[in-house]
């Protein structure tokens, strides 16, 4: 007899001998989930390249909100997205998110005022938490023996995105301005919506019959959003400014209140009992810290590449954006290739050992980048070493989460990992700019950074990676999804 899912409309197929084999249907399914997941990374690069054009087009000094609006909306909605995926099925929620994302980017591209641009970006922010569902959907939709490999391939594809996006961004912005980048994002997100509609079956409802915990979701999302906002603005406001302290305090109070609200809620938006388990807490924290380094350090390295070289004033390399894109091909290829290789062997070896080895290499790599970054050869060699480790990290993090949560808890685990990456990313970025500011020269109102500051931001990445390694060494042996009693080949209703 075929076991039934927690949703009355979704049946789970019986395990077969082909459960560990790739089929054309599974390849297409992986593409349909990877495209919208990695479009988020591409959107970050395209958005960064479009920012200057937006500022000039609308003559605004508030262009920071062009990116910050999307980040804040995404952070606020993440708890609701996690719960909605379990309540209504991840496919339905992913369709709504991608449709809103395409609509928001289209509105921003058509906008004739800066405030309408921000309104469009706010709507597009509904698409931001997509990764909280896509990796959980892999656990629901792929055969157990392929879960770690499929998750690793999807995570490592960020290296391919980092390889192509700088060239794409330059071509779009140079030929069509910021609107070209936004129209591309709108079209690509619409394609993502179509891929999900055509290729992704519905997933089980892991919280079928329960209700939304609106107070808990609003307090958690609002608290995290307040903290991210304060950290993002702290460098410009000043860390002792009343506004910075006020937003940080409000966020802290909200997060403490959330703990009390969840204890009394019959349908908590996050299962705190799961998050209190030591393996889960360690894996999520270590995974969040390590992926923050893997995603944040390359962006900070762009400052080094593009800032001018003025002896005694600015220690940048003075490259053009195109030259930086050409040079960065090397380490992005290393990251992508390493991720694919690791994904292939995750099903055969202890994912925890592979993960820890990757952390060691990434820490060593960024320590070396801190010492050697004065020309193309030095930066290519040291960054390639760092990105060998980063490739392991982006491929191994999903397997780490899979190994500490059950199938029903996968949505919660993936969602919490995404929230921690956003939170840690804001903190590490703010810390990096604070380090740079401590060793800077202000000339005609513009801050230029000296070499000691650049060295320390890479050493900061190495230190954060070592913290993730220490936590990872405490994680107990991981659960293998191939041992799940219920297979994961889900057919559409």
Q: Residue 119: is its pLDDT beyond 70?
A: yes
Of 38, 206, 27, which is closest to residue 134 (Cα–Cα)?
38
Whether residue 375 contacts residue 467, with contact meaning beta carbons closer than 8 Å, is answered with no
d(CA 267, CA 263): 10
- Please give the pLDDT value at position 367: 97
H or E, element range at 446 = strand 446-449
Q: Which residues contact 416 (CB under 8 A, 6 or more apart)?
A: 82, 270, 275, 284
Q: Residue 369: is its pLDDT beyond 80?
A: yes
pLDDT more than 70, % of the chain: 91
d(CA 208, CA 320): 53
Instruction: Give 210-260 pLDDT, tens digit per residue.
Output: 677 778 888 888 888 888 888 877 777 888 889 989 999 999 999 899 888
Q: Residue 488: is its pLDDT beyond 50?
A: no
Q: Residue 157: is its pLDDT beyond 80?
A: yes
Domain boundaries, the chain: 24-212, 223-268, 270-480
Q: What secondary structure letter does DSSP report for 442? A: E
Name the CATH code of domain 270-480 (choices 3.65.10.10, 1.20.1250.20, 3.40.50.720, 1.10.10.10).
1.20.1250.20
In 142-213, where does DSSP find H-type helix? 147-156, 158-199
Confidence of residue 1 (pLDDT cuts 50, 70, 90): very low
**Token duo for residue 456:** 């320390």
- Please give the pLDDT value at position 4: 36
- Please give the pLDDT value at position 492: 38
Q: Of 285 and 276, which is predicted with more confidence? A: 285
Of 36, 47, 52, 98, which is closest to residue 70 (Cα–Cα)?
47
H or E, element range at 314 = strand 314-315
Confidence of residue 207 (pLDDT cuts 50, 70, 90): low
- Please give the pLDDT value at position 389: 95
Average pLDDT of span 172-180? 88
Q: Which residues contact 266 (CB under 8 A, 6 or more apart)?
A: none
Q: Residue 60: is its pLDDT beyond 70?
A: yes
**Token duo for residue 491:** 């057919």
Average pLDDT of span 390-417? 86
Q: Which residues contact 297 (CB under 8 A, 6 or more apart)?
A: 366, 386, 457, 458, 461
- Please give the pLDDT value at position 17: 41
Average pLDDT in the chain: 84
Of 314, 327, 435, which is closest to residue 382 (Cα–Cα)?
327
Average pLDDT of span 165-174? 85
Residue 245 phi, psi (nearest 5): -65, -35
- Please give the pLDDT value at position 445: 64
d(CA 394, CA 420): 15
- Please give the pLDDT value at position 218: 86
- Facing residues of 442 across strands? 447
- Facing residues of 12 across strands? 490
Most confident range (mean pLDDT) of 49-58, 59-68, 208-217, 477-486 is 49-58
Fold equal for 24-212 and 270-480: yes
d(CA 493, CA 485): 22
Of 109, 435, 160, 421, which is closest to residue 288 (Cα–Cα)?
421
- Please give the pLDDT value at position 393: 93
Most confident range (mean pLDDT) of 40-54, 89-103, 138-152, 291-305 is 89-103
Average pLDDT of span 338-367? 89
Q: Which residues contact 34 (CB under 8 A, 6 or more apart)?
A: 134, 153, 154, 157
- Please give the pLDDT value at position 19: 58
Of 200, 181, 134, 180, which is closest to residue 414 (Cα–Cα)?
134
Within 10 angstroms of residue 445's Cβ, the number of other Cβ atoms is: 5
Instruction: Give 425-480 pLDDT, tens digit per residue.
Output: 878 887 888 888 787 887 776 678 889 999 999 999 999 999 999 999 999 888 77
Task: Say which range, 15-24, 176-185, 337-346, has the weakest mean pLDDT.
Answer: 15-24
Cα–Cα distances (Å) from 424 to 228, 259, 327, 470, in that order, read 9, 20, 28, 17
Q: What secondary structure letter does DSSP report for 21? A: S
Most confident range (mean pLDDT) of 14-18, 307-311, 443-447 is 307-311
Average pLDDT of span 323-348? 86
Report the topology of domain 24-212.
Growth Hormone; Chain: A; (1.20.1250)
Cα–Cα distances (Å) from 305 to 282, 432, 433, in that order, read 35, 16, 15
Most confident range (mean pLDDT) of 143-152, 183-192, 350-359 is 183-192
Phi-psi map region of 22: left, alpha, beta (phi>0 left; psi -120 to 50 alpha): beta
- Please give the pLDDT value at position 489: 41
Phi-psi map region of 202: left, alpha, beta (phi>0 left; psi -120 to 50 alpha): beta
Whether residue 479 contacts residue 147, with contact meaning beta carbons closer than 8 Å, is answered with no
Average pLDDT of span 137-141? 89
d(CA 364, CA 361): 5
SS3 140: helix
Q: Residue 137: is its pLDDT beyond 70?
A: yes
pLDDT more than 90, % of the chain: 35
Whether residue 189 contacts residue 105, with contact meaning beta carbons closer than 8 Å, is answered with yes
Instruction: Give 62-115 pLDDT, tens digit per residue.
Output: 777 888 788 888 888 888 888 888 888 899 999 999 999 999 999 999 999 999
């Amino acid at each position: 007899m075929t076991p039934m899912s927690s949703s009355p409309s979704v049946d789970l197929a019986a395990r077969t001998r082909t459960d560990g084999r790739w089929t054309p249907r599974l390849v297409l399914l992986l593409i349909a989930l990877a495209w919208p997941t990695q479009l988020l990374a591409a959107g970050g690069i395209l958005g960064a390249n479009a920012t200057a054009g937006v500022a000039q087009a609308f003559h605004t000094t508030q262009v920071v909100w062009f990116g910050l609006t999307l980040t804040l909306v995404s952070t606020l909605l993440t708890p609701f997205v996690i719960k909605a995926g379990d309540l209504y099925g991840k496919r339905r929620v992913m369709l709504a998110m991608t449709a809103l994302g395409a609509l928001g980017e289209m509105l921003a591209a058509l906008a004739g005022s800066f405030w309408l641009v921000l309104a469009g970006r706010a709507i597009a922010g509904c698409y931001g938490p997509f990764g909280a569902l896509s990796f959980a959907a892999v656990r629901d939709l792929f055969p157990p023996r392929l879960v770690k490999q499929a998750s690793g391939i999807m995570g490592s594809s960020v290296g391919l995105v980092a390889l192509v996006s700088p060239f794409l961004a330059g071509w779009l912005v140079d030929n069509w301005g910021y609107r070209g980048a936004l129209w591309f994002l709108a079209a690509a997100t619409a394609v993502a919506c179509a891929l999900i509609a055509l290729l992704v079956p519905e997933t089980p409802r892991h919280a079928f019959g329960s209700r939304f915990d609106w107070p808990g979701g609003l307090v958690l999302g609002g608290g995290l959003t307040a903290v991210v906002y304060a950290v993002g603005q702290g460098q410009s406001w000043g860390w002792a400014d009343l506004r910075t302290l006020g937003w940080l305090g409000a966020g802290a109070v909200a997060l403490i209140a959330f703990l009390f609200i969840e204890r009394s809620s019959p349908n908590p938006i996050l299962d705190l009992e799961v998050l209190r388990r030591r393996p889960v807490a360690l894996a999520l924290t270590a995974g969040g810290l390590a992926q923050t380094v893997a995603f944040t350090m390359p962006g900070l390295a762009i400052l080094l590449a593009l800032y001018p070289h003025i002896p005694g004033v600015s220690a940048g390399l003075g490259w053009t954006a195109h030259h930086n894109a050409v040079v960065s091909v090397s380490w992005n290829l290393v990251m992508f290739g390493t991720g694919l290789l690791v994904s292939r062997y995750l099903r055969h070896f202890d994912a925890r050992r592979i993960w820890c080895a990757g952390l060691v290499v990434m820490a060593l790599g960024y320590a070396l980048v801190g010492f050697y970054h004065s020309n193309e050869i030095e930066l290519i060699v040291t960054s390639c070493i760092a990105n060998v480790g980063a490739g392991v990290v982006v491929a191994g993090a999903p397997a780490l989460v899979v190994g500490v949560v059950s199938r029903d808890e996968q949505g919660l685990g993936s969602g919490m990992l995404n929230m921690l990456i956003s939170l840690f990313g804001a903190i590490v970025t703010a810390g990096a700019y604070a380090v740079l500011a401590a060793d800077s020269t202000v000339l005609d109102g513009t801050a230029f950074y000296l070499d000691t500051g650049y060295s320390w931001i890479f050493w900061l990445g190495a230190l954060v990676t070592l913290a993730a390694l220490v936590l990872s060494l405490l994680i107990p042996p991981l659960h293998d999804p191939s041992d799940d009693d219920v297979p994961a080949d889900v057919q559409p209703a």
